Each structure stands twice: as C-alpha cells, then as structure tokens.
C-alpha cells in the first residue's frame, strides 16, 4: 500500500496517472483510518500515514475534478491522534447515591437533617428534577466563550471532546448575557427516542451495528474521533449543575437553574421545589406518570438540597455528594429461558453463579447474562437450567434473576447442585460459618483468582493502565507472559530481546505494543492509596485504602505495622483496629493478606519494579494546623452533628479515632462526655470544648 505514494512531482503527472494514484491513495488512507480508529491497531507509523494523506491532498488540489466522493481528506480529525486527550477536572465530577424505595428517600432526608443538626421545625428545601439517561459532560466557558468540553471519565479526569461538543446545537458556543469570567456548566448529553430510532435505521441501512438504546447512541456519537460524524448525530444537552465558577450564580439551586436558562441552556423539566420526603415522593409519582410522554428516556428523579451553603457543609462521601440522591424508577423486567448456570471465580475466590440466558430485551438493553447471587439464592428460588425465569435490571445494576415461572417448567429438570470444588483449579471451595459465599481456597494457585487480581491491579481506580483490557490480561496470563503484577513492568524489557513476546503476534502492531509499554511505564510510580487499593485485599475499597494510606503514610510503614500486628496483643494491632471504620473483620483481612507468603513475594517483586509514593495530603491540608493530628470526639455536640465535625476534621487532614490513647492530640468533648475526658486528662491529652473546636477549625 505504501508504494501508492510516488515520488514523481504532482505537476508532472498526466490526469490518467493522477487518477490511478488518487484511487490507490483514497483506498490506502481509508484502510489505515479503519485500522487506527475502529480497530485501534495501526499498521504504519503516524509519519508514514501523514505522508499518504498529504500526497492525496496535493493531488486533489491539483486535479480537483478527480477527487473521489469517498475521499477521506474532507474528514475533520481523521488524522491519527492518540484517542482523546485527557483533561483533569478543576472540580471533580461525582456520581450520585441511589434510592430505590420510599423508605430510602425518608432516610436520605433524615440523614441530611441529622448531619446539619436541624431542629424539627427548621425548613429544608430540595429541588427535584428528572434524571436524564444520557452521559454527563462538563463545559468550560471563559469570558463567555465555550473553550472546552470534557466527558466525566473517572470523575477526576475525562476526555477532551471539545470539537464534538461544538457540533451540538443545544450547547451555546457563546453565552447569552453577562456571565462570570470562568463558568463550568455540567449536564447531560442525550438523544430523543425518535431521533434514536431514525439513527438506528440509518445505521442498519449503512450495514452498521445499531445502538442498543438512546444512551449508548448518545455515548457512541459523542465519542467520535471525527467530529463531523458527531455533527450528523441528533445530540442534545440539558444543564443541571456547576463546576468551577469565578463568581457565584446565586445562593440556591433554583436561582442557578434560572441563570443557566438566561445564559442559553436548556433545562430538564419538570423541576419542583419540595420541602421534605412526602413532597419528593409526590413529585416522583407524578414524574413516573409523565415518563412515557417525555420525548427522551429518564431513569428516575434527582433530589438536591436547594441551599448551596448547606451543600457546602454537607460535602461528599467517597464519590457522591451527601446533598443529593438519585431516586431510581422500578426495575424493568422480562421473561426468558435459562440455558445454563456457570460458576465464576472472583478476585477473592468467591464462587458466583451466573445465569446464561436466551438473549432478551429488558427495557431497551439486550440481556444474556444475569447474576444468581449465591448458592442460597439458587436453592431458595429453585432455579434450574431449562426453566423460564423473570430477569430484571434497574439502572446500571447488573441484571438479576428474580424468580422462576414454575408453570412453564419443562419435564426432567433437576435442582442445581452447587460445586464444592473450585471449577477453575479444583481446590476445595468452602463456606465459612455465617458466610453466604463459598470461596476457593486455592489463593494465587487458582488461575481465576490470579487473573482477577491482575485485572483489578490495572483497573481504572487502581493502577489505571490504559489498553490492558480483560481479554488481553487473560491472554497474557494464559501464555505465561504475565503471571503476577510485577511481570507487567518486565513486559517491555522482554519485548526488546530477540524473541519478542508481543510485537508481531496477532492483533499487535509495533505502535499498539509501544502504547501499552508507555502506559505501563507511566505507572512505575503511584500514590500509596491507589497502590493499597490495587492489591485487591478483601473489603479494602477506595475509601478504606485512602484511610490506610493516610494512617500509615508509606508502604514500608504499612508493611512493618502489618507484620507487627500479627500479634493480636501488640500496639500495632491496637492501632489498626482503632482506625475509624476499621473493624476486626477488616483488620483480619489486612493481616491475613500481609502474612500470606505469596503476597509478600508479590510485594517484594513489585518493590523492585516500581515506587510507591508516600501519602501526600493536598497542599491545603498540609498547611492546616490539624494535619496528621489524631482527634477523638465524645459527648453530644450542639452546633454540629458528630458526623459533620468528623468530616470537617478529616477534610483538614486530621485522623479521627474512636478511643483516647497517648497518641491522641485532642479530645473534643461535647455535653455529657463520660469517661474519655478522665482518661485524656490522665494521659495529658488536650481537651477542647465544642466552641474551642469550632474556633480552631474556623467556625461553621
């Protein structure tokens, strides 16, 4: 293909020669576009590709009548770029906690009131809005001009889709009316149902795959490397939140909404001000009735505290705000046939039964797998292969088998017998007393566990290695290229030697191998909290990993403490269980993980390949007088809830523990404090009143 580029100067060509070359180049460029954009498998270096395109462009300029209608040169952004550029969000883009039932909504309102320490009579307003089933987007305006559009990504970092966003008619390129110098508007990109159906008809006519639902249609259309493709797609946008702003748009959400409308944004209606759980539930019932009359899909309602100052106090837990919740509509259900029950072995050895189903459309999504939860659930529902079952899905939750339609049970079925041996490695699979889960005892001997641990290690919230999908990990593992995490870092070295493991094998060009090595190389240094999370210790999620990172500060401290903590009478053990939210079960999992020789070998091996950066609190926190101080709260606080006080302390870099020891820096004592004050005084720990505490942290 490359020899399609001739060296003869264009002006010396006859039209016939030019026509032949244009035809060859048009085909060659289209071919490489396909490898690059659709398959992520380029076959030639970027410079080579550029040369082809350039020559084609010159030929077309000299012989415009010979330009072919299918010429790739007219396409915007078809030049190879390494996917989308990553952009960091100035303010993280969060997700929402879910409510499913009325009780969850009452609990949400009660939780907010408790946190804010509101008396029964004090008013608290919420704004209820439809929850749009699309994908969230952040738009940045500077001086009133749209300068950036970014997808949510992992919440901290998204993809730069500015060129695509500019093609969406609902999105103002310039704000109407006076606007803050910096304004980030967040909202949802979506597609109307009729537009979605028409798009799918066009896809089918063009011999392309149709989209499963409007949400996928919107996501697929926005994430096009070629913005002219996006331009042809019927995308729309609603604004519903703010990111970074240089100047306030108002003190309440409803004011912000009307300012957004003034600035040129479409709003998701109907929105309603509600003064409590009952009003929210009435809104929800009404929205459910309206649902089918709306021209786009919604999957529930979102309830948000109206006052922005209260939101500020409420803050966040992990990745969701305390001040908002998504109330999802009831699950969609459908009937289908259960073909087989497969047993999956997870990262921690848990055996999970998975239903393989005859594919069925459940509320717009084709479902062919569903979870059966565990052994007891299968027995309780008496699910048998061959049965007709009811499956349901709610929002992004994994589809599940709800029940068997007994009337339709065929003859000759037998109850499902749950295996007592791991189907992957043959080790005993045991159920600890009181546990619902049966676990394989094979540890890293079990290939399924080893593979799952590797997957987890490189997953987005862990080391976040781009380009190492599930299938690739599985293949690398099976071929013995990567058996444990440290092997990843040796992959590139191995590739440099004569018998190249990657380069040249099916699906891997020099470019894609190089991209992978670079992605791995970029992770030779990671922050301690990510590293702890990446280890995949049972019960250690992101929040716990951060807590542990903050407590132990460095990997070597953590390892030393876990070694010492094996003795349950040691101070190290006491310190571990004293960490707020670390109970004995979690402590046992931690200690068991670090005591296991396989795991120690994995850690030693990793230590020789990568650096784990000590935990660095954000700059603001480091400067705070409370940074690294150990604080205990006791008694009843009157101006803040215990939870708010604790959240505040943690936000300022302090550690909050449950009991007073010689290491405690401050005991904050509310009314009726009890014995902790005596203990603190004995140990010489400073005791603060609630007022003194508030002065220290700058009031409420």
Binding site for ligand IVH (CB under 6 A): 94-96, 129, 131-132, 136, 188, 240-241, 268, 302, 321, 324, 326
Length of the chain: 700
Strands 630-634, 655-656: pairing kind: parallel
Closest CA to 349 of 422, 255, 456: 422
Q: Please, what is the minimum distance in Å from the beta carbon of residue 124 to ligand IVH?
A: 18
Q: Please, what is the minimum distance in Å from the beta carbon of residue 286 to ligand IVH?
A: 16
State which residue, 302 or 362, has the beta carbon closest to ligand IVH.
Answer: 302
**Cis peptide leading into 287, omega within 30 of 0?**
no
CA atoms of 347 and 353, how far apart (whole Å): 15
CA atoms of 275 and 514, how far apart (whole Å): 57
State which residue, 57 or 250, has the beta carbon closest to ligand IVH.
Answer: 250
Three-class SS of residue 266? coil
Q: Count H helices, E strands: the chain? A: 25, 26
Of all residues in the shown chain, the one whose CB is closest to ligand IVH is: 136
How many Cα neighbours within 13 Å face the side chain of 604? 6
State which residue, 274 or 502, has the beta carbon closest to ligand IVH.
Answer: 274
Q: Please, what is the minimum distance in Å from the beta carbon of residue 277 to ligand IVH?
A: 19
Bridge partners (DSSP) of residue 239 are 187
Contact assessment for residue 674 and residue 635, using Cβ atoms and an 8 Å cutoff? yes
Closest CA to 606 of 696, 513, 502, 528: 528
CA atoms of 223 and 59, how far apart (whole Å): 31
How many Cα neighbours within 13 Å face the side chain of 483? 10
CA atoms of 609 and 488, how far apart (whole Å): 9
State which residue, 97 or 346, has the beta carbon closest to ligand IVH.
Answer: 97
CB within 8 A of 549, min separation 6: which ones? 527, 528, 529, 532, 615
Q: Please, what is the minimum distance in Å from the beta carbon of residue 130 to ligand IVH?
A: 6
Contact assessment for residue 281 and residue 100, using Cβ atoms and an 8 Å cutoff? no
β strands within 34-181, DSSP E:
86-88, 97-99, 126-132, 135-142, 145-151, 157-159
State which residue, 322 or 676, has the beta carbon closest to ligand IVH.
Answer: 322
State which residue, 240 or 477, has the beta carbon closest to ligand IVH.
Answer: 240
CA atoms of 544 and 527, how far apart (whole Å): 14
H runs (alpha helix) in 154-239: 162-165, 193-205, 214-222, 227-231
CA atoms of 298 and 144, how far apart (whole Å): 30
State which residue, 83 or 395, has the beta carbon closest to ligand IVH.
Answer: 395
State which residue, 321 or 486, has the beta carbon closest to ligand IVH.
Answer: 321
131, 381, 655, 676: the active-site residue: 131
Active site residue 337: no
Q: Which residues are catalytic?
A: 131
């Amino acid at each position: 293909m490359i020899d399609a580029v001739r060296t003869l100067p264009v002006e010396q060509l006859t039209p016939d020669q030019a026509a032949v070359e244009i035809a060859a180049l048009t085909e060659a460029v289209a071919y490489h576009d396909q490898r690059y954009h659709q398959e992520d498998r380029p076959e030639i270096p970027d410079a080579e590709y550029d040369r082809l395109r350039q020559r084609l462009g010159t030929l077309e300029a000299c012989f415009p009548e010979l330009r072919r209608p299918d010429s790739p040169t007219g396409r915007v952004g078809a030049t190879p770029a390494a996917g989308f550029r990553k952009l960091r969000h100035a303010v993280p883009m969060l997700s929402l906690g879910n409510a499913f039932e009325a009780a969850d909504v009452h609990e949400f309102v009660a939780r907010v009131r408790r946190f804010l320490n509101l008396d029964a009579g004090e008013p608290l307003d919420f704004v209820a809005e439809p929850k749009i089933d699309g994908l969230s987007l952040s738009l940045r305006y500077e001086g009133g001009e749209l300068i950036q559009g970014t997808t949510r990504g992992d919440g901290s970092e998204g993809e730069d889709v500015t060129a695509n966003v500019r093609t969406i008619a609902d999105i103002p390129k310039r704000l109407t009316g006076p606007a803050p110098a910096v304004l980030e508007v967040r909202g949802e990109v979506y597609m109307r149902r009729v537009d979605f159906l028409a798009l799918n008809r066009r896809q089918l006519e063009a011999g392309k795959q149709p989209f499963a639902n409007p949400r996928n249609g919107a996501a697929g259309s926005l994430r096009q490397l070629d913005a002219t493709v996006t331009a042809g797609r019927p995308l729309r946008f609603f604004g519903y939140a703010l990111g970074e702003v240089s100047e306030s748009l108002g003190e309440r959400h409803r004011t912000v909404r009307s300012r957004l409308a003034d600035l040129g944004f479409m709003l998701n209606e109907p929105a309603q001000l509600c003064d409590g759980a009952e009003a929210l539930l009435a809104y929800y019932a009404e929205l459910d009735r309206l649902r089918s009359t709306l021209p786009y899909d919604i999957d529930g309602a979102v309830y948000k505290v109206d006052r922005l100052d209260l939101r500020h106090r409420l803050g966040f837990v992990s990745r969701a705000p305390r001040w908002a919740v998504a109330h999802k509509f009831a699950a969609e259900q459908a009937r289908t046939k259960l073909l087989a029950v497969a047993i999956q072995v997870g990262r921690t050895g848990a055996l999970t039964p998975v239903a393989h189903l005859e594919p069925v459309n459940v509320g717009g999504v084709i479902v062919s797998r569903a979870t059966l939860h565990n052994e007891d659930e299968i027995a309780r529902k008496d699910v048998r292969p061959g049965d007709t079952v009811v499956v349901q899905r709610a929002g992004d939750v994994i589809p599940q088998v709800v029940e068997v339609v007994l009337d339709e049970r065929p003859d000759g079925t037998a109850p499902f017998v749950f295996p007592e041996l791991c189907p992957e490695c043959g080790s005993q699979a045991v159920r600890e007393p009181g546990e619902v889960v049966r676990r394989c005892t094979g540890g890293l001997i079990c290939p399924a566990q080893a593979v799952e641990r590797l997957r987890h290690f490189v997953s987005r919230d862990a080391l976040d290695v781009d380009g190492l999908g599930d299938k690739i990990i599985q293949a690398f593992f099976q071929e013995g290229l990567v058996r444990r995490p440290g092997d990843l870092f040796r992959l590139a070295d191995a590739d440099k030697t004569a018998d190249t493991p990657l380069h040249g094998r099916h699906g891997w060009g020099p470019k894609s191998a190089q991209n992978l090595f670079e992605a791995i190389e970029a992770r030779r240094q990671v922050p301690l909290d990510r590293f702890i999370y990446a280890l995949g210790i049972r019960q250690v999620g992101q929040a716990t990993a951060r807590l542990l990172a903050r407590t132990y500060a460095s990997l070597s401290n953590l390892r030393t403490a876990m070694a010492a903590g094996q003795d349950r009478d040691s101070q190290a053990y006491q310190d571990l269980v004293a960490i707020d939210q670390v109970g004995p079960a979690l402590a046992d999992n931690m200690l068991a993980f670090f005591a296991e020789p396989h795991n120690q070998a994995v850690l030693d091996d990793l230590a020789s390949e990568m650096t784990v950066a000590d935990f660095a609190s954000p700059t603001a926190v480091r400067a705070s007088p409370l940074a690294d101080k150990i604080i205990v709260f006791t008694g009843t606080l009157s101006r803040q809830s215990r939870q708010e006080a604790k959240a505040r302390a943690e936000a300022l870099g302090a550690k909050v523990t449950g009991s007073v020891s010689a290491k405690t820096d401050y005991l904050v004592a509310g009314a009726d404090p009890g014995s902790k004050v005596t203990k603190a005084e004995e140990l010489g720990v400073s005791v603060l009143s609630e007022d003194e505490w508030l002065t220290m942290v700058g009031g409420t």
